[in-house]
Structure 1
Amino acid sequence: MGSSQSLGVPSGTGPFKVGCTDVMADHTRQGSFFRLYYPTEAEQLKPVSWIPQYQYFVGLADYLDKSKMWFPPLLSLAFGHYSVPVGWNASFRAVEKYPVIIFSHGLGAFRTVYSSICLEMASQGFLVAAVEHRDESAACTYYFKPQMEEHSADAHSDLEEVWLPVRKLNAGEEEFPLRNNQLSQRVEECGRVLNILSEINSGTSIKNTLESLHLSDLKGCIDLQKVAVMGHSFGGSTSILALAKDKRFRCAVALDTWMLPLAEDIYSEVIGPIFCINSDKFQTKESLAKQERLKSKNNDLKIITIADSVHQSQTDFTLLTGDLLSRAFETRGRIDPLKGLEITNRAAMAFLQRHLDLQKDFDKWNALVEGNDTHLVSEPRHS
């Protein structure tokens, strides 16, 4: 694969076309909110905006400590025209049972920032639920509350949006207690999304506050024996803790994990297989030592590092920023962005085949799991 010629979220390379919908089960802050990617047989696909609402640009400005007056319009100008090549609310391909990936986003991100990974996995035959966390780690997110006035006549006449901003560290505040607390909520939210998928699979009617495809179409097609948890950065530590706390998750794929939020006592509790796919720049010697400690009870720990990649190389931003923006926000390393994501996806799929007992051909990428590739280095170079 050569250099990325044009900016954009690429189509999946797997055998399936991909449908996509948003699910908000229970409109309150305590409810679940996630984007679901799934195989579709629809011929005509209807792409969806990469950034779902302008408010997310405001949230990103807030997270980046930029002016909420002038920065959101700039972000909108830079990213507002991008779409994700999926079939929005396209019909579900109800032909077989699909393994499941619950995906957890990083700090300051939200449910759509990893569309390229989620879309690729769905094109290869996974159901992928990208959680939008409500622990105040998302750049922003929203839920609904009942309206006081009764003059509105649209579909959500009795509900109004409430936006939840990112929670900043206060001056002098210790970071660990806040993040560890958020981590617990994140794990709970991942488990709750899995509960909802279980209910959908059994035919229980789920009330979705948002318009979507008929979730009842998924009945009997979700393979709840083959469930993995995956995430980037804060989502990486979320996936590790979720694996320790919820036995329904059979393995975890942790992308450039932020290790800080994990408490000391957790290292001895993790017994499932973990795959850490690191960038070349983010991990410190201390965080790598913590990753190695996950091996204490766990012979199925794999750690690889993608050469010349940066922390944002596993997000869509690496594909959507040109030279100027990528320099300003360090969204690109020296590796071609498409190549970096291809390695991440292929390595993850080979690992998932191994630990979810998939009848696929992903084992052709086993060498990546073992760290054997010219684009992999033995450890991050912190350069």
Structure 2
Amino acid sequence: MHMQRRGLYAILLIGILAGSVIPAGAVQTAPAPGEHTTSIGCNTTGDLPAWADGMFNGTISRAGEVTGDVTGYVKLGRTSQRGFFSGTWNTETGQGRARGFFYGMLLVGQITISGGSLSVPLLGILQSDASRFSVRLLSPPGRQLQVSGVRHASFLPKPDGPYDIGTTTMHLVDRDREERFTDDPADSREIMLQFWYPAANSNDDRAAYMDPETFDWLKHESPIPLFWIPDGGYTSAMPHAVRNAPPVPGETFPVLLFSHGYDGVREIYTSLVEELVSHGYIVAAVQHPYVAGVTVFPDGRVVEHQPAPADPGEAEAYFEMAFDSVTGDIDFVLDCLPGMDIPLQASFDLDRVGIYGHSFGGGASAAACNRDDRVLAGAALDGYFYSDVVENGSKKPFLSLLADGHFERDASLQQMWNRTQSDIYMATAAGAAHYSYTDVGLLLTHVAPLIPRHAVGFGSIEPRRLIEIANAYTLAFFDAYLKEQPLDALLNLAGQYPEVTFDYK
């Protein structure tokens, strides 16, 4: 009895340290004995359970000889080195389930043998990196078993489209445009541009989520500083894109520009980009220096956000300049796309161009729709709108995804809606806040699970659900207007998401 209690306490302790809760329904049905055919290659195309952050598979070996296989799912804790697992094992002599926790190099749990009530403790020494794992089992004793394989887990939701994803960055200088945020008239406007694109299957390592300078901004200087995030916590976000992966050969794809929010950075919208790319879009995300929270150039220069002056009159002039700079960046990228000397350029379908953005970038997206005939449709994630768009409405099909209550308190948005003559759509998710339309709520779920999200500006809606909603509406909208797919897919989404209030005209 005392031994059982100690075992239970050990498992509970590991669970607390891992920052994970055993998810309901996190049990798999074991395969028939002897059907172990798993090879070393993670099946990332299957559907994940709602509770899981990723999956794993591998082989069981004894004295160097493969005797079976394992497969299952992972729920991460505060980092990718701690969390919960649930899976099945299968050998020629039996099969069953395995579940438990991992914390650094320690793995603790239990093995259940199918067809009986026997459960035995599981204890192992774990070695892992971003994509591979190896466990030397200490218990059950005397078996000398080794389990090794691959895993694919992330704080960010797994895209469910048919395409793998690549990403690459570019540094662009607009020699024809003076940098208005500096005092030197010789300074030209510079931007960073990140592409995400459908990629040929690649086994290379996935791209990093962000660089240390950007994480330092997120932790200490962002509009909602997240100082409680552990150092290096961003490394567990693990985007699903492979850096500089070769593009899908022989195909072209519609191009979507993306513009981040005021005092934001492109990286915190990764989950709102990768899903669209997995369904056959190229996304070009513009980083707007001085308007962005921080911009890191390839030569190591770090450009910090330049905030608005406190004086109301000066602040108004500042925001006009900032908006002109952002929309000018978008114009510049549109001008550059046809002549870019990169392999990816052959994949651009520049007859099908759209744009979307968050907050300030959502307003810039609407402005691009009105000022540039190359842009066919646009969308805003809780956008704020200015100038011509407010006065005349959108001249192109436009989708607004809103925070709860935004429409009711924003007279400019109401005027834009009323004056738009083209197709316009509005979706409001109950419990969504302005910053819900970023990855940050997803990170908080892991790194600060005890802090109420609504108390720090991220709304009451579950972050993965909000990202799923935003991606579903954005994808269906651009599919309709850039790929000429049936509009019914967009109009019927309300049946799948009852928490969304949807309107159009």
Bigger radius of gyration among the two: 2
- The residue type paired with residue 387 of structure 2 is A
Which runs of 5 or more structure 2 residues have no equivalent in the other structure?
1-48, 53-74, 77-153, 175-186
Letter in 1 for 2:306: R
1:366 aligns with 2:491: yes
The alpha-carbon distance between structure 1 residues 227 and 65, as it changes in their structure 2 partners (threshold 3 A), is closer
**What are the residue-to-residue correspondences of 1:183-222 with 2, within 5 Å?**
183-200=323-340, 205=341, 215=342, 217-222=343-348
Task: Give the structure 1 partner of residue 35 of structure 2.
Answer: none
- Give matches, 1:148-297, under 5 Å: 160-174=299-313, 175-200=315-340, 205=341, 215=342, 217-259=343-385, 262-263=386-387, 267-268=391-392, 270-281=394-405, 283=406, 285-287=408-410, 290-297=413-420
Match of 1:42 in 2: 201
The residue type equivalent to 1:296 in the other structure is: R
Q: Which residue matches 1:151?
A: none
Q: Secondary structure at the match of 2:211?
A: coil
Offset of residue 326 of structure 1:
5.3
**Cα–Cα, structure 1 residues 3 and 315, in superposed 2: closer, same or farther, change >3 Å?**
same
Cα distance, 1:34 vs. partner?
1.1
TM-superposed deviation, 1:58 = 3.6
Contact 1:240–1:254, Cα closer than 8 Å, also in 2 = yes
Contact 1:63 1:166 in 2 (8 A): no
CA offset at residue 345 of structure 1?
1.0
State whether residues 111 and 132 of structure 1, in contact with CA within 8 Å, keep that contact through their aligned partners in structure 2: yes
Partners of 2:276 and 2:495 in 1: how far apart?
Answer: 21
The Cα offsets for residues 143-180 of structure 1, whole Å up to 9 and x where unpaired, read as 46xxxxxxxxxxxxxxx433221122333334433222
Partners of 2:337 and 2:457 in 1: how far apart?
Answer: 33
Q: Which residue of structure 1 aligns with residue 273 of structure 2?
A: 118
Q: Say if 1:19 and 1:89, in contact at 8 Å, map to a contact too.
A: yes
- CA displacement, residues 304-345 of structure 1 (integer Å, 9 cap, x when unaligned): 101121212211112111234553863543322222111111
Confirm or deny that 1:140 pairs with 2:140.
no
8 Å Cα contact 2:155-2:236 kept in structure 1: no
Secondary structure at the counterpart of residue 305 of structure 1: strand
Aligned-pair identity (%): 22
Does structure 2 conserve the Cα–Cα contact (< 8 Å) formed by 1:54 and 1:76? no
In structure 2, C-alpha distance between the alignment counterparts of 1:54 and 1:288, rounded to whole Å: 37
Q: 1:123 to 1:372 in 2, by over 3 A?
A: closer
Q: Per-residue displacement from partner, 1:35-87 (whole Å, max 9, x unpaired)? A: 10001112314212212233541476234486xxxx87956344344321211
Contact 1:97 1:220 in 2 (8 A): yes
Task: Give, as a single letter, the amino acid of the residue that structure 1 aligns with 2:159.
Answer: G
Give the equivalent residue in structure 2 for 1:354.
480
Larger RCO: Structure 1 or Structure 2 (Cα < 8 Å, ≥ 6 residues apart)?
1
Look up the SS of the partner of 1:320 in the other structure: helix
Distance in 1 separating the partners of 2:309 and 2:223 = 15
1:194-226 Cα offsets, whole Å, 9 max, x none, are: 2222113xxxx3xxxxxxxxx2x2243211111
C-alpha distance in 1 between matches for 2:460 and 2:50: 13
Whole-Å separation in 2 of the counterparts to 1:46 and 1:364:
35
> Secondary structure in 1 aligned to 2:349?
strand
User: Structure 2 counterpart of 1:179, which letter?
Assistant: F
**Once structures 1 and 2 are overlaid, which stretch shifts more, 175-184 or 219-228?**
175-184
Whether the aligned pair in 1 keeps the contact of 2:391 and 2:416 (CA below 8 Å) is: yes
Structure-2 change in CA distance of 1:326 and 1:83 (3 Å)? farther
* Secondary structure of residue in 2 paired with 1:318: helix
Distance in 2 separating the partners of 1:348 and 1:190? 20
- Within the alignment, does 1:25 sit opposite 2:151 as a pair? no
Which amino acid is the alignment partner of residue 307 of structure 2? K
Higher strand share: 2
CA offset at residue 277 of structure 1? 0.7
For the 8 Å contact 2:404–2:430, the answer to whether it is kept is: yes
Letter of the structure 2 residue corresponding to residue 84 of structure 1: P
Deviation, 1:240, is 0.9
Match of 1:100 in 2: 255
The reply to whether residue 313 of structure 1 matches residue 467 of structure 2 is no
SS at match of 2:336: helix
When residues 309 and 24 of structure 1 are mapped into structure 2, their CA distance, relative to the original with a 3 A threshold, is same
Q: Which amino acid is 2:453 matched to? A: R
| Secondary structure, aligned partner of 1:129 | strand
> Which segment drifts farther, 304-313 or 248-257?
304-313
Change (3 A) 1:34 1:41: same
363 and 126 in structure 1: CA distance in 2 versus 1, 3 angstrom threshold: farther
**CA distance in 2 between partners of 1:40 and 1:327 (Å):** 35
- The aligned amino acid for 1:242 is A
Amino acid across the alignment from 1:366: L
TM-score by length of 1: 0.79
For 1:63 and 1:304, locate their aligned partners in 2 and report how far apart those are by CA, in whole Å. 27
How has the CA–CA distance of structure 1 residues 163 and 54 changed in structure 2, closer, same or farther, with 3 Å as cutoff? closer
Q: Are the counterparts in 2 of residues 347 and 366 from structure 1 also a CA contact under 8 Å?
A: no
Q: Does 1:338 align with 2:477?
A: no
Which AA in structure 2 matches 1:18? Answer: I
CA distance in 2: counterparts of 1:295 and 1:360, whole angstroms: 27
2:264 aligned residue (95, 109, 119) = 109
Any idea what the Cα deviations from partners look like across 1:3-44, whole Å, max 9, x if unmatched? 675470122110000001111134985233111000111231
249-258 vs 289-298, which moves further: 289-298
* CA distance 1:106–1:24, change in 2 (3 Å): same
Whole-angstrom CA distance in 2 between matches of 1:266 and 1:292: 6
